[in-house]
Structure 1
Amino acid sequence: MEGRYVSQKISRVRWRPTTGSSLQLPEYFASGSWDAEKNTVCIWDTVTEDTETDQLFLENTKPLCDIQHKGDVMELQFLDQERIVTASSTGSVIVFRHHEIDEVLSVVQQWERAHYHSHDSAPCTGLVCNGPEIITVGEDGRINHLQVDQKEPVRTIDDADSSSLNAVTFLRTTEILTVNSIGQLKIWDFRQPGNNPRQIYSLTGDRVPLHCVDRHPNQQHIVATGGQDGTFCIWDVRQGSIPISLLDAHSAEMWEVHFHPSNPDHVFTCSEDGSLWHWNASVIAPDLPSFLQQGRRNFSLNGTVAHADINQSLSSAWLTMDAAKGRVDIENLLWAYALSVNSLDVVGEHLVCGTDAEAIYITRTLEL
């Protein structure tokens, strides 16, 4: 994995969705910055010709266009191939359009005070898109249901949470899942009247803030989260109210967790501690003793030691009960790295990540 200096701290990176065949390789990605006098959203073009190394691949990656962004980019998602939605630390939610002919970005929609306190704005901390639907959450504990072609929200839940909502994902078309700063997951069903969640799940013990969440692409009841203490959790929202598995993963805050979209036995996480981990639960090693048992076990990660505290065993489906058949392999994709890795995205064998070292790293050779 090779890096490219971009002169801004990168808070979010996302591949642009491809058209046609799912085997088509991504050619463009978007980035958002933070902690600068003038933050930006930028579209990048990656080389499409075959190159021998990631370094050559990255050297041919070039910015196509950018636009100034008011406030830090707290979240960034592609609505479709042309439009990008961002969440701002100012409380705004902004829709940009990429005009490919002129190679420019323009603002086409904006909700300036989507999130706010009584006397000040509140950062919009997360959003998720599904077609024209946009769901946003913020430090004000508010949930907004927006539509890209409507200026007014479809629905707002003003007092959804008494603590900061940090991330959101769709479970189904009418259901979302949020994570908050006291270690809770909440499921909201927009078909139900009222402003109360349908279900609440919680980490046991200390109320450790959860920063990120992702849903398994094929099994909607499986959810992964990451928190302030670096813990990686797997939840089955069909049963119980606590995670089925907890792994003491990173040594600092976990900022993002993503299932691989087409090979979800693989999960990727990034952290404040400067690490970018590839978790492979598809490894079958029946001749080796498994650490996937009740209690605490140590396992070696390319010379470093991590700990796992697992309630149930994991395998390619993350929920199997047969602990003797599987183990989780973990590889750190960034070595000897100190500054925070804030964001990642993965499609096929292509992974991109953004860092506080004002660098973007790309690999096109993931081993899946």
Structure 2
Amino acid sequence: MDGERDGPHDGRTQSGGGKISKVRWIDPESRQKVFVSGTYERSCNQITLWSIPPVSQEGESFKRACQIDVEDDVNDITTCIGTNFAVALNNGDLLVVDADNDKLDIRQTMCDVHQRCAANAISSCDNWIVSGGGDGSILLHDLNATAQPSLITSQMSSVRAISMLTANLVVSSHLCGRIYVWDLREKSSSLPSLKPTVAYYPTNTPGAIMAISSHPADRHLIGFGTEEGIVGFLDIRIAAECVAPVSMPFSVGCINEITFHPGYPENVYLVSSEGVLIHLDATKQGVIHRVGDKESASSNLWLSRPSSFGNANVSVLMEEPMPINSVDVCADGVIVGSDSFMMTFIDKEFFV
């Protein structure tokens, strides 16, 4: 892997009390620097709510506001509306949790939704949640209803990551090395499950696609990472037989998570099983476009030239001896969690 190696900028590190499987900012637009973490491979796993004070207090980088026990490994966490978030557990349960007022309140529990298989991945849009199971099933859950979840499919290989782009469009990645697109408008009462609208085999290798993320300004542009260390980008508006994904191999082990910066999406962050946090910066490859900026240029390099990321500047922001499992980014900075029990926050100063 070629790239610059930068030290963390204003980095803070603290133990999370166990192997950290997921970290997620909560209601980042409030600018309160609040995040949640989940653990795995413990006799008693936990979800913890943290805040980041302006100055470290009593030697602690983060302040623990609340902690609750859960019945199995935390496999995935997705933020919902406001301070709500949803959790996928290894026993197949899904939890909907509210993180308001420095407390964690489990509002809803959906038990064993994937029929004795793990809930591997979860994503949300508005009041909908989509979950992917170890058995290959994908289910749609309406948070405003008490009805049973709607089956999207049950005929795929094990789901590794899932993203709900809109209330009607879902993208999933699988153990078999494929990415599937699901148009939920095609579902009818006469069909027990859907067939994927499009199926991509983006790397032509047997390795599982472990992570996916959608561009915040153009949801059809997908970043992905594989268990073999390949990072790629593709436009799901293009037919499978015509698409030419940008693929870049990195010698960093399995790509555990990939995410776009929500305000500066020409910046992408990824973490790997070899303990590396990587920053891909494509700002010099085209017109800088800040999402939500009223004065932003009309041209966005992602919309016109997604392949520009093949020439992105690569920086290693952090290295540690244990796998880094999760990364999330907001306007305030990047937060990561790892098998070393440690969580690290890196300040926003390096973004642009």
Q: TM-score range by the shorter chain?
A: 0.7 to 0.9
CA distances 1:157-178 after superposition (whole Å, capped 9, x unpaired): 35241x1011111233311011
Equivalents in 1 of 2:305, 2:159: separation in Å? 31
Equivalents in 2 of 1:318, 1:328: separation in Å? 16
**Residue 331 of structure 1 pairs with residue 326 of structure 2:** no
**Residue 2 of structure 1 pairs with residue 12 of structure 2:** yes
Q: Is the 8 A contact 2:28 2:330 kept in 1?
A: no
Equivalents in 1 of 2:184, 2:329: separation in Å? 30
2:331 — aligned with what?
A: 348
The residue type equivalent to 2:138 in the other structure is I
1:15 — aligned with what?
A: 25
- CA change 1:167–1:321 in 2 (3 A) is closer
| Unaligned segments of structure 2, at least 5 residues | 1-10, 287-299
Q: Equivalent residue of 2:284, what SS?
A: coil
User: Which has the higher mean CA deviation after the structures are superposed, 70-79 or 196-205?
Assistant: 196-205
Equivalents in 2 of 1:330, 1:41: separation in Å? 32
2:204 — aligned with what?
A: 205
Q: Equivalent residue of 1:59, what SS?
A: coil
Equivalents in 2 of 1:326, 1:210: separation in Å? 19
Q: Is the 8 A contact 1:111 1:151 kept in 2?
A: no
CA distances 1:49-88 after superposition (whole Å, capped 9, x unpaired): 4x5xxx7898342100010011110001222333221000
- CA change 1:318–1:250 in 2 (3 A) is farther
- Paired residues, what number? 321
Equivalents in 2 of 1:263, 1:321: separation in Å? 15
**Shift of residue 129 of structure 1?**
0.9
The residue type equivalent to 2:174 in the other structure is N
Q: Is the 8 A contact 2:247 2:310 kept in 1?
A: no
The residue type equivalent to 2:36 in the other structure is A
Q: Is the 8 A contact 2:267 2:351 kept in 1?
A: no
**Residue 179 of structure 1 pairs with residue 189 of structure 2:** no
| Unaligned segments of structure 1, at least 5 residues | 286-314
Supply the RMSD in Å over aligned alpha carbons: 2.4
- CA change 1:63–1:199 in 2 (3 A) is same
**Shift of residue 243 of structure 1?**
4.6
The residue type equivalent to 1:32 in the other structure is G
2:158 — aligned with what?
A: 164
User: Which has the higher mean CA deviation after the structures are superposed, 81-90 or 32-41?
Assistant: 81-90
- CA change 1:58–1:143 in 2 (3 A) is farther
Q: Equivalent residue of 1:91, what SS?
A: coil
CA distances 1:124-165 after superposition (whole Å, capped 9, x unpaired): 01111112100000111111110123333341135241x101
The residue type equivalent to 1:30 in the other structure is V
Structure 1 length-normalised TM: 0.81
**Shift of residue 322 of structure 1?**
8.9
**Residue 44 of structure 1 pairs with residue 43 of structure 2:** no
Residues 56-135 of structure 1 mapped to structure 2, 5 A cutoff = 59-100=60-101, 103-116=102-115, 121-135=116-130
Q: Is the 8 A contact 1:14 1:345 kept in 2?
A: yes
The residue type equivalent to 1:330 in the other structure is V
The residue type equivalent to 2:326 in the other structure is S
Q: Equivalent residue of 2:132, what SS?
A: strand
Equivalents in 2 of 1:251, 1:213: separation in Å? 17
The residue type equivalent to 1:229 in the other structure is E
Equivalents in 2 of 1:322, 1:84: separation in Å? 33
Hey, which of these two has a bigger chunk of helix by percent? 2
**Shift of residue 250 of structure 1?**
4.1
- CA change 1:69–1:143 in 2 (3 A) is same
- CA change 1:204–1:268 in 2 (3 A) is closer
Counterpart among 336, 340, 345 of residue 357 in structure 1 = 340
2:258 — aligned with what?
A: 257
The residue type equivalent to 2:226 in the other structure is G
CA distances 1:27-70 after superposition (whole Å, capped 9, x unpaired): 210011101010001100111x4x5xxx7898342100010011
Between structure 1 and structure 2, the one with the greater Rg is: 1
**Shift of residue 107 of structure 1?**
2.0
**Shift of residue 185 of structure 1?**
0.9
Q: Equivalent residue of 2:337, what SS?
A: strand
- CA change 1:177–1:222 in 2 (3 A) is same
